[in-house]
Amino acid sequence: MKTHTEYLWFETRKRKELVRITGDLEAILERSGVTDGMMLLSAMHITSGIIVNDDEPGLHRDILEWLEKTAPEDPSYAHHRTGEDNADAHLKRILVHHQAILPVTGGKLDLGPWEQCFYAEFDGRRRKRVVVKVMGV
């Protein structure tokens, strides 16, 4: 078995944003030389996550609106008493999770017909990263 690790770096313009990363992941997979195995993606910041879903702008708005309703910006969070203002971003990360594992078959990401991968940022405008680890043969 071989492994290959790379990092994707992000500095989003907005505080909350979904960034399509499927093409970047395909390029990393190609460089890895792995043809059968898996790819682990892990957002390495406590206010960002990974989403696998459709690349459709209306759905993206729906996702962000649902997350806002479920974990709204609210100055009354206990976390804000520490001087922070991003408690909602931490909660949104819990809802979407920080990792995804993608299957690799025949040297390609084995995604469903509409599936794409996204970096989900909930407290942006500063530099953050995602580790991408490809494992297999």
pLDDT in tens, 75-88: 999 999 999 999 99
What are the domain boundaries of the chain? Answer: 2-73+85-136
Buried b (16+ CB within 10 A) or exposed e, 62-73: ebbeebeeebee
CA angle 27, 134, 14 (to 5 degrees): 60
Q: What is the pLDDT of residues 21-53, one digit of tens each?
A: 999 999 999 999 999 999 999 999 999 999 999
Cβ–Cβ < 8 Å for 91, 71: yes
Q: What superfamily in CATH does domain 2-73+85-136 come from? A: YjbQ-like (2.60.120.460)
Secondary structure class of 84 (helix, strand, coil): coil
For the record, the structure tokens of 98 come out as 């920080």
Average pLDDT of span 100-107: 98
pLDDT band at 6 (very low <50, low <70, confident <90, very high): very high
